[in-house]
Amino acid sequence: MGKPLVSLAIIVSIVSAPAFAQATSGGQTPMPGGNMGSTAVSPYNSSNVTSQYLQQKQIGNLPEQQNTRANAGKSERARPAKPDELAAGATVNDKTGAAIAKIERVDADGVVVSTGLAKVKVPKEAFGHNKAGLLLDMTKAQFEQVVAQANTAR
CA distance 42 to 24: 17
Relative to beta strand 91-93, strand 99-107 is antiparallel
CA distance 57 to 139: 33
CA distance 47 to 95: 45
Concatenated DSSP letters of 78-99: PEEPPGGG--TT-EEE-TTS-E
What residue ranges define each of the domains in the chain, with the CATH number in brackets? Answer: 2-71 (no CATH), 79-152 (2.30.30.240)
> pLDDT by residue (tens digit) across 112-143?
999 888 999 999 999 999 998 999 999 999 99
- For the chain, 154 residues long, the average pLDDT of each consecutive 10-residue run is 52 51 48 48 59 69 59 68 95 92 95 91 94 92 88 75
